[in-house]
Chain A
Amino acid sequence: MTENADRLSRRARETPPSGIRRFFELAEEMDDLVSLGVGEPDFSAPWAARAAAIDSLERGRTSYTANRGRRDLRERIAAHVTRYDLSYDPDDEILVSTGASEAVDLAMRALIDPGDAVAVPQPSYISYGPTVTFSGGEVVPVETHAENDFVLTYEDLERAGADEASILVLCYPNNPTGAVMTREELAEVAEFVREHDLFVLSDEIYAALRYEDEHVSIATLPGMRERTVVFNGFSKAYAMTGMRLGYALGPSEVIDAMNRIHQYTMLSAPTTAQFAAIEALDSCDGAVEEMRREFDRRRQFVISRFNEIGMDCFEAKGAFYVFPKCPPGWEDDEAFAEALIREERVALVPGRVFGDGGAGHLRVSYASSMGELKEALNRIESFVEDR
């Protein structure tokens, strides 16, 4: 067995295990665990979407689709994204992928040459860094700061030397912080991007989960459409994580390059999921709004409780995460999360897992029932008080 370890590629050997792995293993051992470490909705996909998937199977629609995804789905996606003032041609500017994650990977591979620098704001979703590395690129971490509510600024980019990068990755509403960016804040970032001729990969998978105002895509800002690929999908808004269906919107030459890689690797996204997605876009706005309202109530509850407990929590306005600070006396988020799971059986994810910018914080998902949230917060409160 050991000699096979030597056969592994350098990239495989050098890819560290995900930082959440250890907490997942700890959680696995626990009975009576309350987990706020889950990055997916606790709802099921709307029934109409599930029924469409079943119907497609009953009709025997189990073959590959066009590499770019079914044309009727791409048409609906084009119509759907007009709500964010985005306009893309279903023929050559949209690619349906196996989850938004695949689309991100395809874009990295289509745009990165070995040695290219890619600016990745931190804290950020755990897959961006490794996918940059898999493509031969080098990550330039750009720290965002709690005092700015984890919004990316022109100064953050400048300080990190992002002008040397060829690509900037954005994720707003943000996993893990729940931060959102306003049009004005994005305009500042867009200015930097244009000045230094960067290309933007904008992961907007949480666009529908924004609580106090409308989502703004950086691709709608002047001069940005031609230098941006936008990612979205059905996992978060429609609670269809297991269906693995996402999409990319972008300039035709980039989408075409991504499709070339896609046709040699995935061929096409899952057919059953594509039928579910068509129905989701046709008839499930009401279900999405119901979930959004429920998440909003939980969000306000969780933020309020953390602040009462003394774990400073800024007002996250998107996704389904909040990002409180460790309580006074705890500097090390991993130590806190580990002690909490061992002693109180509550799973949170240490902020450091999402990059150094997340150190001293914890990612808390409120995609759990109110009963579980109350129980978890009560246990956290008693843990903090006992110290």
Chain B
Amino acid sequence: MEAKRELLDLLLSDARQSTEDIARQLGVDAATVEKLVDELESEGAVRGYQAVVDWDSVDEEHVRAEVELNVELDRETGYEEIARRIAKFPEVSSLRLISGSYDFAVDVEGESMHDVSNFVSEQIAPIPEVTQTVTHFVMTTYKERGVYFGDGDDDDRLAVSP
């Protein structure tokens, strides 16, 4: 388990590292890393590998909103069922059931504010169990999944020191 945890840390920090580089850091051989990665994937611990993108640096329209969703449950419909209906939309990049003043936190992505608001009003709000939606458009992203979007050029250490 310790080795898997270490491996997860390395994949979280940079999933594009070669198997050999990961093996060197863990002090094991490449075959062991491949076996552990296979296990993590088949156990469902690792669900995918994606880039962390700073959309402000990409010359393309991209809008993201965080949507608060309140729902009302009945005897036949639970959170799972509602989640399954919402998660199937490609516009929804993440969906979480959370505690607090609303039920679901939904990340919605689109090419324009119009796209995103249309999607929320036409696809999400009409779901019978949904009682309220509050849409927050993301203005600027400073940090995403542990990656800070600053210029990263703040190492003012001496290049050679004792």
> Real complex partners, A and B?
yes
* Complex CA–CA separation, A39 to B158 (angstroms): 9
* Complex CA–CA separation, A184 to B27 (angstroms): 26
Contact A20-B24, Cβ < 8 Å, known A42-B155, A297-B10, A370-B13? no
Q: Which residues of B contact A33 (CB under 8 A)?
A: 159
Query: Which of these, A28, A40, A301, A371, contacts B157 with CB under 8 Å?
Result: A40
| Nearest opposing residue in chain A for B152, CB measure | A369
Q: Which residues of A contact B21 (CB under 8 A)?
A: 301, 370, 374
Segment 1-41 of B: residues with Cβ below 8 Å from A:
6, 10, 13-14, 17, 21, 24-27
Segment 138-162 of B: residues with Cβ below 8 Å from A:
155, 157-162
Query: Which of these, A24, A304, A305, A374, contacts B159 with CB under 8 Å?
Result: A24
Contact A304-B24, Cβ < 8 Å, known A20-B162, A125-B162? yes
* Complex CA–CA separation, A27 to B157 (angstroms): 12
Contact A298-B159, Cβ < 8 Å, known A370-B13, A370-B14? no
A18 interface residue, CB < 8 Å from B? yes
Q: Which residues of B contact A27 (CB under 8 A)?
A: 159-160
Q: Are B162 and A298 in contact (CB under 8 A)?
A: no
Per-residue B-contact encoding for A311-352, CB less than 8 Å = 1, 0 else: 000000000000000000000000000000000000101000
A129 interface residue, CB < 8 Å from B? no
Q: Are B159 and A35 in contact (CB under 8 A)?
A: yes
Contact A37-B25, Cβ < 8 Å, known A297-B10, A370-B13, A370-B14? no
A110 interface residue, CB < 8 Å from B? no
Q: Are B159 and A301 in contact (CB under 8 A)?
A: no
Q: Which residues of B contact A371 (CB under 8 A)?
A: 14
Segment 338-387 of A: residues with Cβ below 8 Å from B:
347, 349, 370-371, 374
Per-residue B-contact encoding for A284-299, CB less than 8 Å = 1, 0 else: 0000000000000110
Q: Are A20 and B160 in contact (CB under 8 A)?
A: yes
A281 interface residue, CB < 8 Å from B? no
Q: How far is the CB of A169 from chain B (nearest CB, A)?
A: 15
A127 interface residue, CB < 8 Å from B? yes
Q: Which residues of A contact B17 (CB under 8 A)?
A: 370
Segment 54-73 of A: residues with Cβ below 8 Å from B:
none
User: In the complex, how many residues of chain A place their beta carbon closer than 8 angstroms to a beta carbon of chain B?
Assistant: 29
| Nearest opposing residue in chain A for B28, CB measure | A300
Q: How far is the CB of B20 from chain A (nearest CB, A)?
A: 9
A154 interface residue, CB < 8 Å from B? no
Contact A38-B25, Cβ < 8 Å, known A297-B10, A370-B13, A370-B14? no
Per-residue B-contact encoding for A10-36, CB less than 8 Å = 1, 0 else: 000000001010011001101001010
Contact A38-B158, Cβ < 8 Å, known A297-B10, A301-B21? yes
Q: Are B24 and A40 in contact (CB under 8 A)?
A: no
Q: How far is the CB of B79 from chain A (nearest CB, A)?
A: 34
Query: Which of these, B6, B26, B160, contacts A38 with CB under 8 Å?
Result: B160
* Complex CA–CA separation, A20 to B158 (angstroms): 11
* Complex CA–CA separation, A156 to B36 (angstroms): 45
Q: Are B26 and A37 in contact (CB under 8 A)?
A: no
Segment 220-238 of A: residues with Cβ below 8 Å from B:
none
Q: Which residues of A contact B25 (CB under 8 A)?
A: 297-298, 300-301, 370
* Complex CA–CA separation, A38 to B159 (angstroms): 6
Contact A347-B159, Cβ < 8 Å, known A301-B21, A304-B24, A370-B14? yes
Contact A40-B161, Cβ < 8 Å, known A297-B10, A300-B26? yes
* Complex CA–CA separation, A20 to B160 (angstroms): 7
Contact A300-B162, Cβ < 8 Å, known A38-B157, A40-B157? no
> Which of B10, B25, B160, B161 has the most chain A CB atoms closer than 10 A to its own CB?
B160
* Complex CA–CA separation, A30 to B162 (angstroms): 19
5 smallest A-B Cβ distances: which pairs? A27-B159, A37-B160, A304-B24, A297-B25, A24-B160
Residues of A in contact with B (beta carbons under 8 Å apart): 18, 20, 23-24, 27-28, 30, 33, 35, 37-40, 42, 125-127, 175, 297-298, 300-301, 304-305, 347, 349, 370-371, 374
Given A37-B159, A300-B26, A370-B25: 10 more A-B contacts, CB < 8 Å: A18-B162, A20-B162, A24-B161, A37-B161, A38-B157, A38-B160, A40-B157, A40-B161, A297-B25, A301-B25
Show 16 residue pairs from A and B whose CB-CB distance is below 8 angstroms, ordered by the A residue.
Answer: A18-B162, A20-B160, A20-B161, A20-B162, A24-B159, A35-B159, A37-B159, A38-B157, A39-B161, A300-B25, A347-B159, A347-B160, A370-B14, A370-B17, A370-B21, A370-B25
